[in-house]
Structure 1
Amino acid sequence: MNREREALLQRRTGRYFPVVSWVLPHTRGARLALTIAIIGSLGVLFSQAFLPLTVEHLLKEGKWDARLAVELVLLALLQLFASLLSHRAGHHVANEAGTSLRRAVFRKLLRTPFLKQQGLARASIVSRHTADVDRVCDAFEATLIEGIPAVIRIVQSLIILSFLEWRTGLAMTVASIVFLIVRTGIGRSLLTIDRQRLDASSTVGELVDETITSSPSIAGSHLANWQGQRFSNAVGTLRQLTDRQGAKIAQLVAGANAAGLVGLVVVVSGALIRGGENLAAVAASLLYVEGVVKGLETLPSWIRGVQQGVVSQIRIDTILQSPERLTPSPTTSSSAGLSLVDLAAQFDSGETVRNINLVLPQVPVIGLVCTTRVDPDYLCALLSGDANPTAGAIALDGHDVRHDSVKERIWSVPANSSSFNDSIGEIFRGIHPVISDSEILSALSRFGLAHLPQLTTGLDMPLGPGGEQLTRNERQRLALAVVLLARPEYITVGPILALADADTGLPLLQLLKESVTSTAIVSINTAELAEATDAVLFIDTDGVHLTTHRELLMTSANYAHHWAQRLATDEVDLSVLGIPDGDERTLLTRLVTESYSPGEVIYRQGDPADRIVFTIAGRVEIVGTNAQGDERRLAVLGPGNHCGDLRLSPGEQRAETVRALDDVVVRSLSREAISAGMTGLLDRTTAERQVVATLLRHGPTALSDLAPLMPALTDDQITQALALLERDGAVTQDSGKLRAVQKRRSRTGAADLLDRLTDL
């Protein structure tokens, strides 16, 4: 701990009510309950003050007095009712304050560097929203209904006791003062120990979280014993601090009891010396002594709770008092639309771009093309106002995009689009509160997710933590579907899998053009998709270039080299597909590289059979599920193997689930690309390939039903493509329906795969 934090702890140690003033602003919605709690506590104190005096009067009279008896009963009932009222209202106030405080911490978290786990580990951030808020609110509640009333009870009991039995009052006052002096010394050391113990507890939680997230590295590097020793050391530290904490608490409790025993001894000794005289005063004195003792006994647990609350308060303040994560600059440009103003940015690879001044054209789609050392997701974060550049700014209509009012105009779908542990319906309603189920189903269908409601048991079943029931491709498509339904003005899209292949990416580009009111900036991974954009923003070591794809091919050697070097022909053997030799190299351009973490689903049983997967690095397991839902491992595949052979009959679904066992790199080839290779369509236009792929996917289809299945193509494009395909015999008509003609290609080893093709 730094000196500033240590000094702050010490300054707050001597204060009895440090948490109250800190929590009070969060009780605005429960002021009535707070008033009731205070009135209830005052009622308890009133009854405790007058009960002993009533008892004294009854005993002093020496005979039955109905009025005094009724008064005694009423005071007892008042104490019971007021105690219930104060506890119930006090708990309500603390609960409301806790809710408000959690919301405030969470709102602030969204605006701090801690959101990216910069400066605090994930487990520590979580505990500040949960355990630390609980401790602060427990301390506030205890102060309100136990601590303050206990202090007042001690004071009023000592005052009245001094009038009844001055010797006893004096002895109890001295004993109480001694206890408070001792308590101050013990409390200072206890506060430090509480802080150390909370830090040690957080360390234990962080190690558990680290072990879970780093399990592949621990297993692969055989670090289990080392990690276990680290955990044992942390637990040992926690045990030692807990022992020290318990010893200090025991000292506080013993001190309180000692102070109470002093008063009891003085009262009893006085009664024995005086004999039977003044029995009523003795009885009343004992009740007041008992009040002091009860108050002193309350102090140790309350003080401990307050001190733990102080430590938790300081921990929460690390978030509440943290500087803003985003630091927008004032008006920076007079240009309309998006502009880069003296921009400098450094990427994790060490690559840096500097002094970029550029105005992006207001066209439907701008393709974002980056070299391997430039992270497109970080660029998308900069363009959407979710990250700070090294220098300069990105402006929208002259205002920094990091301003809240400007940031609302730009939406973003990053590659790491983790979903939420909620239903598909609720995720859509998070942005579109009044959306109907039919509109959700329509949106899912447009983005190739029509199968999700069946796989996830409808629209109202949670998807699991992080949306674990969905594959990465499904999570990305779902995020895109939700965002585009809002018809954003601007959107940035990271390197998602659906845009890594031309045949699956072109329909999405069309959806982006239809849904975005101004401009979509999309990370592009294929030259064919780059050709389909309205402009290309290319970033390399030489700087930033903005023009069309064709112009860049002619003017930028780095851009041309970027696309030429993307092939890796020695990683994937396409001979298993029965593709002619002349088409293999063209088909290699359609391979999509993907990476998965251990346990992540690559595809799931019941998914559409839409691609074949080649393992490049790491291992995957193939798992089957029987009718009872029990899983059984069928195989483990390493590099050089493939899975997901396409059943090209319409509507075919996966019969198995494939999960990553290690950190896995795979390259996949879509159904559309394979269909084009098998039917000799690799040299065809995009429209022709999409027509054939659609007929293969859906089976024989009437011309009137074909256009809705290909929203990315116009009616003229479909008509021209069909004319060419029918001329060459690739598509025929039978009974008013169009069907794709698959021409069997002879190739050694391909017969088994080709025999799976349905005779359409």
Structure 2
Amino acid sequence: MNSKALYLRLLGYVAPYWRVFALAILAIIVMALTDPILAALIQPLLDGGFVDKDPTMMKWMPIFLIILFSIKGLSLLASNVGMTWVASRLVMDLRVAMFSKILTLPTSEFDKTSSGVLLSKVTYDVNRVMAAATEALIILVRDSLTVLGLLAWMFYLNWMLSLIVFTVLPLTIVIIRLVSRRLRRMNTSMQDAMGYITRVLEEAIGGHKLVKVFGGHRYEQNRFQFASNQVRQLEVKTKIISGLSVFIVQILTASALGVIIYIAAQQSAADNITVGGFVSLFTAMGLLFSPIKRLTQVNDKLQQGLAAAQSVFNLIDQASEISPPKGDLARFSGKLTFQHLHFAYEGQASPALQDISLSIMPGETVAFVGASGSGKTSLANLIPHFYSVTEGQLLVDDVNINDLPLETLRANIAIVSQDVVLFNDSVAANIAYGAMAEAPRDKIIAAAQAAYAMEFIEQMSDGLDTPIGERGVKLSGGQRQRLAIARALLKDAPILIFDEATSALDTQSEHQVQQSLDKLKQGRTMLIIAHRLSTIAKADRIVVMEKGRIVEMGQHAELIEKQGIYAKLYQTTA
């Protein structure tokens, strides 16, 4: 996307706030006109007040100057406040759009992109967009109008001298265009480097215990230093290129002004220009220098902002999860059918699942066992449509999963995984999460009791209202897992997926949770993934997987009697 298209798209986000934006632009225009007016007032002030000794001019000129500077100050205040308000709204809307997109991205995108890179886009990149939306725009509008106004006044005073200024404009335009391309590339590289810094920082903070135990200080320090040095080098290179372009333009401008001053002095000596006209021309040229300087420097900010906008829009434009049109949130019976199903992760040559054919009836409890990497979790992840089936079909209540709206499908599924996810909120908010946020208090308590979580919740300072810290850091592993189980029980979904759901529980708690799960079996389909095979002996069926295939299936007693793979696994894990 080119610079023009990017900027027009950014302005599209400004459209809802066009009234404030228009007022801010109007204030910028008024402010831009004050410099040419100031230069114009110099001529009558000198010629009329000091040369001709006109008392009226001497009386009113100070008042005009006070009014002029008052208008300039108020317009400056209005433009800064207005543009900052619009830009803050723009940044907020972009952040909301980015976050909304992140929530709808396919799971495969999270596999490819680190959370640190996404965090960098939402925090660092979007702030650079604000610079392009406010500072750069103010400079472009205000200083461009100021330069045009001053040039117009200079042409009015002496068009021959003013023509000299235009000798530097073509060279200035060429320099800015060449530098723009280089700055865009470098700012894009800088954003990638910042994403790497965020990723290293996030990993080091999240894994600080591992870093300490395994002596990873030097390794993490080297990674962070390398990433920081990349950003430093790019920042220095950006400043050098930007600074050189500004220096060249300023030298060209100063040379032109020097020639103008010399010729004007010659004309003044020959009485071809009045004292007021000469000083007014000289003032206009002096006022011209600062806006030209800012206009040459604005390119750096503009390219930073546009490079950041490109990064932001790349995220917003990513494809969301594909879902058929929304339908009624019907409750499923819980029937699952796998028909010659194959699945491979993106970028992986070997499939994770091969020719899976299996029917699970409503209310049936099916356990999946096998060595790590056998495909158990991959199979479970297909049911909520976290990934799409590569080949074959997955049917829910005899309907192809690809034809079901994601909202309807996921409303009928509850999951408790080994990697428990809790939020920095109260106990109650973590149990009644998301669509269950309005659940009655008594139902939250009943779910917690069914998961045998109330015994430790009641001992907490504020009970269900106790904050549990980031990712439940204030809880033990078993307590976190029981809260996750309570969350799944409160949802009361017809399909329950338990992926190592009792792995962090002690023997007594595991027995209690198993009792609560036994009560829930009626009317619900349960899929249990377990390594501790003693916990799934009562399952209606046990499916043994190896290298992405189903190799054995039956009840516990049948599989033990076969003395096959399951029997060997049971002997080593029971």
TM class, shorter-chain normalised?
0.7 to 0.9
Is 1:34 aligned with 2:36? no
Q: Is the 8 A contact 1:172 1:262 kept in 2?
A: no
Paired residues in the alignment total 546
Is 1:289 aligned with 2:285? yes
**Alignment partner, residue 503 of structure 1:** 511
Q: Report the Cα distance in structure 1 between the residues aligned to 2:464 and 2:297, rounded to whole angstroms.
A: 49
Is 1:418 aligned with 2:405? no
Q: Report the Cα distance in structure 1 between the residues aligned to 2:13 and 2:238, rounded to whole angstroms.
A: 30
CA 1:79–1:504 in structure 2 vs 1: closer, same or farther (change >3 Å)?
Answer: same
Alignment-mate amino acid for residue 478 of structure 1? L
Alignment-mate amino acid for residue 143 of structure 1? A
**Alignment partner, residue 566 of structure 1:** 573
Instruction: Point out the structure with the larger strand share.
Output: 1
**Alignment partner, residue 687 of structure 1:** none
1:693-738 CA-partner distances (Å, limit 9, x unpaired): xxxxxxxxxxxxxxxxxxxxxxxxxxxxxxxxxxxxxxxxxxxxxx
With structure 1 as the length reference, what TM-score do the two structures score?
0.63
DSSP 3-state at the match of 1:565: helix
DSSP 3-state at the match of 1:387: coil
Percent identity between the two aligned chains: 18
**Ranges in structure 2 where 5+ consecutive residues have no aligned partner:** 326-332
**Alignment partner, residue 448 of structure 1:** 452
DSSP 3-state at the match of 1:118: helix
Q: Report the Cα distance in structure 1 between the residues aligned to 2:444 and 2:126, rounded to whole angstroms.
A: 38
**C-alpha displacement at 1:74, in angstroms?**
3.8
Which has the bigger relative contact order, CA under 8 A and spacing at least 6? 2
Q: Report the Cα distance in structure 2 between the residues aligned to 1:462 and 1:563, rounded to whole angstroms.
A: 40
DSSP 3-state at the match of 1:386: coil
**Alignment partner, residue 490 of structure 2:** 485
Q: Is the 8 A contact 1:19 1:310 kept in 2?
A: yes
**Alignment partner, residue 20 of structure 1:** 7
Is 1:433 aligned with 2:437? yes
CA 1:222–1:282 in structure 2 vs 1: closer, same or farther (change >3 Å)?
Answer: same
Alignment-mate amino acid for residue 303 of structure 1? N
Is 1:105 aligned with 2:101? no
Q: Report the Cα distance in structure 1 between the residues aligned to 2:289 and 2:108, rounded to whole angstroms.
A: 48
* The one of 339, 342, 362 aligned to 2:340: 342
Q: Report the Cα distance in structure 1 between the residues aligned to 2:282 and 2:463, rounded to whole angstroms.
A: 69
**C-alpha displacement at 1:439, in angstroms?**
5.4
1:62-118 CA-partner distances (Å, limit 9, x unpaired): 333466665554443332222222211211111111112122222222344687643
Alignment-mate amino acid for residue 509 of structure 1? L
Q: Is the 8 A contact 1:20 1:143 kept in 2?
A: no
1:143-197 CA-partner distances (Å, limit 9, x unpaired): 3322233223323332332222223422222233322322223333333333334
Q: Report the Cα distance in structure 1 between the residues aligned to 2:426 and 2:238, rounded to whole angstroms.
A: 45
Is 1:163 aligned with 2:156? yes
CA 1:430–1:505 in structure 2 vs 1: closer, same or farther (change >3 Å)?
Answer: closer
Q: Is the 8 A contact 2:200 2:224 kept in 1?
A: yes
DSSP 3-state at the match of 1:412: strand
**C-alpha displacement at 1:307, in angstroms?**
1.1
* The one of 232, 235, 239 aligned to 1:246: 239
**Alignment partner, residue 134 of structure 1:** 127
**C-alpha displacement at 1:506, in angstroms?**
2.2
CA root-mean-square deviation: 3.8
**Alignment partner, residue 320 of structure 1:** 316
CA 1:183–1:371 in structure 2 vs 1: closer, same or farther (change >3 Å)?
Answer: same
Q: Is the 8 A contact 2:94 2:126 kept in 1?
A: yes
**Alignment partner, residue 384 of structure 2:** 384
DSSP 3-state at the match of 2:233: helix
Instruction: Point out the structure with the larger helix share.
Output: 2
Q: Report the Cα distance in structure 2 between the residues aligned to 1:526 and 1:471, rounded to whole angstroms.
A: 20
Q: Report the Cα distance in structure 1 between the residues aligned to 2:206 and 2:463, rounded to whole angstroms.
A: 30
**C-alpha displacement at 1:215, in angstroms?**
6.2
Q: Is the 8 A contact 1:259 1:293 kept in 2?
A: no
**Alignment partner, residue 359 of structure 2:** 359
**Alignment partner, residue 530 of structure 1:** 536
CA 1:561–1:153 in structure 2 vs 1: closer, same or farther (change >3 Å)?
Answer: same
Q: Report the Cα distance in structure 1 between the residues aligned to 2:297 and 2:470, rounded to whole angstroms.
A: 38
Q: Report the Cα distance in structure 2 between the residues aligned to 1:29 and 1:80, rounded to whole angstroms.
A: 28
CA 1:504–1:446 in structure 2 vs 1: closer, same or farther (change >3 Å)?
Answer: closer
With structure 2 as the length reference, what TM-score do the two structures score?
0.81
1:465-501 CA-partner distances (Å, limit 9, x unpaired): 3222222222222223234323334332211126976
**C-alpha displacement at 1:133, in angstroms?**
0.9
**C-alpha displacement at 1:461, in angstroms?**
5.2
Q: Is the 8 A contact 1:19 1:139 kept in 2?
A: no
Is 1:123 aligned with 2:127? no
Q: Report the Cα distance in structure 1 between the residues aligned to 2:318 and 2:178, rounded to whole angstroms.
A: 32
Structure 1 or 2, whichever has the larger Rg, is 1
Q: Is the 8 A contact 1:380 1:492 kept in 2?
A: yes
Q: Is the 8 A contact 2:365 2:521 kept in 1?
A: no
Q: Is the 8 A contact 1:37 1:85 kept in 2?
A: yes
Q: Report the Cα distance in structure 2 between the residues aligned to 1:528 and 1:221, rounded to whole angstroms.
A: 33
